[in-house]
Chain A
């Protein structure tokens, strides 16, 4: 009978239910969007690292993130390849560059040069081919940056650091977390455009031979290359995330927004649930007089809270998915993952249960003797 009583109490006052659900839906959408943005930010910050697929990264000492490049000394490659347990060492050249638009004006960009024959970077090419990057000063850009880079199609020309480049490939959906567009090219072209030495690179991507122990190779490399840091993929990923999300405060702002959403949700649900409990106080007093235990009445209120949470969650998720779908046409990346959806269920139910506590305190003080004074 508890679910039925809770359901009837909840739906008895439709206006109150609408207010409760509005609060929960608002909270779910706010938290979903904020955490979705957070996950989207993580995705963008780590995209290069995740697609490069290296077991170990050799990075200049003090590197804060992938997008904070400087150059290694240039002597690392042979040292790495001579290390037992290493299968391959790929160079990656990353540097800030000035992109001059064909019709005037310029913007900063992050140039990424890699061994394109390996096919790791870039990815998701929608026009042109990876092989086309090997053509003289061929570059790949993402189509979402066309307007910012002042180009409109494949084969358009521009200048990088005063050298002419041709857009020979176009990607879809590779956006940086910062405002700088990524410009992909070959190692050789990148070195030319960045005026770097032929041996210089920003990062070395190390793949281990099958059966090699990661920690052992990492330790040996660290001993061999004292002016570098040897980071596992996960460590470099976490370092990049920590830098952009927490040292810059961007992630903290998103999490603060999500917490605000939860607080607003709790306050609205608590207020309406408390009002609903007050409206039904005589019924709860009657139940108490009929011998209901305090636990029984608490369960009715908690069931009301859980029912509100489930309905509010379903509505909130529908609205969140609409918002996420709508955001695809913008520069925002909002992700909804199964884990986030599950976390939102737990969070919504927890929020509503927490909100029910005020109502439970109110009911706990009911004197069943009031049934005789009505």
Chain B
């Protein structure tokens, strides 16, 4: 894949206020973020730090109180709910912590559903869905119902669903949280492959430090602010010079910083 160095997803000065009156909380306090094509970026941070809120805004599910988001060159500014849905449909693939597969449909039908939403014709959808399942190593379970599948297999179907229709970015919310270590690592490996092999920008929210080895970039968020960034260069994770991870840095980053 040829590396394109302009971000596929870019957010500037994102502020998000939740609630009203005395219960009002500023969940995000001026976040700048970009997602590069061909990279797997991990967004880490403690509970309540604003990870999911940021993911929701980047995925055009929530609108920011202030700031701007651009996906594949399209701004979300001024879009209504249908406009946001259109942007999600065209450019965003989601992978959810709880898989969120439609339980009444088989694996391949779940993928076909995403293709149908993206306007792929019914005649082309079966082949494209089969390709997506093959890409995640699940072509042999195409006709299985989600209720008959393991957590790992369900998450693979969810990734296939996110891949279907070639969205520009894939956003994953705690994709390994419901999986055992082996399946979790397999899913992260798959997401990293998706980023590298298809040139898509992949962002995964995670708590799981074991997933760091798959990341091209790591971003740490605390109390609604980005507090740390690290990038893998020549196979080594390097802390960005402008931001300090401090004691919150994951071991690999701390180690990388020492080397750097």
Interface residues of A (CB under 8 A from B): 1-2, 4-5, 8-9, 12, 282-283, 286-294, 296, 368-369, 371-372, 374
Contacts and interface: CB of A to CB of B under 8 A. Distances in A.
Nearest to B91: A291
A147 to B, nearest CB: 58
B117 A372 contact: no
B43 to A, nearest CB: 13
Nearest to A288: B85
A287 B117 contact: yes
28 contacts: A1-B109, A1-B112, A1-B113, A4-B105, A5-B102, A8-B104, A8-B105, A12-B103, A283-B100, A283-B103, A283-B104, A287-B113, A288-B85, A289-B88, A291-B88, A291-B92, A291-B118, A293-B85, A293-B89, A294-B85, A371-B61, A371-B96, A371-B100, A372-B56, A372-B61, A372-B96, A372-B97, A374-B96
Interface residues of B, number: 35
A291 B81 contact: no
A223 B122 CA distance: 72
Most B C-beta atoms less than 10 A away, residue of A2, A287, A291, A294 = A291
Contacts of A8: 102, 104-105
B60 to A, nearest CB: 9
B82 A374 contact: no
A289 B102 contact: no
Which of B56, B85, B125 has its CB near the most chain A CB atoms (within 10 A)?
A: B85
A374 B178 CA distance: 12
B10 interface: no
B105 A5 contact: yes
Contacts of A287: 102, 113, 117
Interface string B78-122: 000110011111101010111010111100010011101110001
B142 interface: no
A282 B101 CA distance: 10
B109 A291 contact: no
B45 to A, nearest CB: 15
A9 B117 contact: no
Nearest to B116: A1
A1 B103 CA distance: 14
A287 B173 CA distance: 16
B61 A294 contact: no
A372 B90 contact: no
B243 interface: no
A241 to B, nearest CB: 51
B55 interface: yes
B113 A5 contact: yes
A177 B56 CA distance: 70
Given A4-B109, A372-B96, A372-B173, A290 B117 contact: yes
Contacts of B59: 289
